[in-house]
Amino acid sequence: MPTNYGTATEAKIGEAVAACQRHGARSIVALSGVPGTGKSFVAGIAAQRLASDPLMVREIQFHPTFSYEEFIEGYRATASGGFAIEKGLFLEWNDLALDDPTHKYVLLIEELTRANLPAVLGELMTYVEHRDRTFTTVYSRRPIRVAENILILATLNPRDRSALELDDALLRRLRLIPFPPDNQQLREMLNGRGLATPVLNKLASLFDECRGQFGGDFDALMPFGHGMFSEVSAEAPDLFELWKQRISPLLNPPGRQPHPFAEVIEQHYPWRSADARVAAPVPAPANAGGAAPAAANAGGGGPAAG
């Protein structure tokens, strides 16, 4: 039985799985969000749930120098000093799926928009959508069709330059699932870490303040998501070290203007010094009947407030 990752996280996994099941035979399904919103985590779990077998998931990562030759096919140097045409990563996986039509294969592409997509995808811009048609590859000149039983699931950062330059032809072949920072997923991720409830509430309020002040720009411009806190297991020193080593450099990159959210985040992040802590709320006085008040939840083990 699959692991349950919490209500909010399971909802995002289910959204990705459902989109692939409905549209994956004709489109690339892409989880779109700023760094640290759980895209890769959710995509990996969704891919495993979609594939017929865990070994039928292949994960690759695009980067600025990734090429058509690496993805589709191209010339490779041989041991004898010559060159031979070899399949790229996609054609290798696609051929396996064509030879095994009773099983579901998944190609998981991380950082989709870090590459020059039109150049890397080549003919796939058309033939992912039209899988009953064949295309002729550039180098080997052999006819190929995209297997009906292969799903392409991807993650992307909407702030990547390539994402900002996506044309209508490519956008039409993508099914974008938004992945904004999510406070419920934040609480699910940190559940059981021993963090006090006021600490969890303060972390959540950081995102709420940015969302409230920047509105429609929040989803695309927030410099990090809830996944930024994935390694936090104690208030001190974890949250101070996180500020010093990761958050502050993101907000104030050397030689560049501060991030537009920098001032708001600094105002609402109390752990900017090594000894900073969030104070637990003071217990209310005993009621008129003399009954002792319930103790404040300082251990973080119970349900999160709010």
Give the strands of the sheet with 150-156, arranged side by side.
Answer: 57-61, 105-110, 150-156, 28-32, 174-178
Backbone angles phi, psi at 156, to 5 degrees: -150, 155
Digit-by-digit pLDDT tens for the chain (306 residues) are: 568 889 999 999 999 999 999 999 999 999 999 999 999 999 999 999 999 999 999 999 999 999 999 999 998 888 888 889 999 999 999 999 999 999 999 999 999 999 988 899 988 888 999 999 998 888 999 899 999 999 999 999 988 877 767 777 788 889 999 999 999 999 999 998 999 999 999 999 999 999 999 998 999 899 999 999 999 999 999 999 999 999 999 999 999 999 999 999 999 999 999 988 997 665 666 654 544 444 333 333 333 333
Q: Report, in this order, helix, strand and coil percent for the chain, each rounded to 5.
A: 40, 15, 45
Q: CB neighbours of 82 closer than 8 A, spacing ≥ 6?
A: none
pTM of the entire structure? 0.85
Q: List 177's β-bridge partners, or say none.
A: 31
Give the CB-side neighbour count of residue 278, counting CA atoms within 13 A.
21
Give the CB-side neighbour count of residue 202, counting CA atoms within 13 A.
21
pLDDT of residue 294: 42
Please, what are the domains in the chain? Answer: 7-178 (3.40.50.300), 183-267 (no CATH)
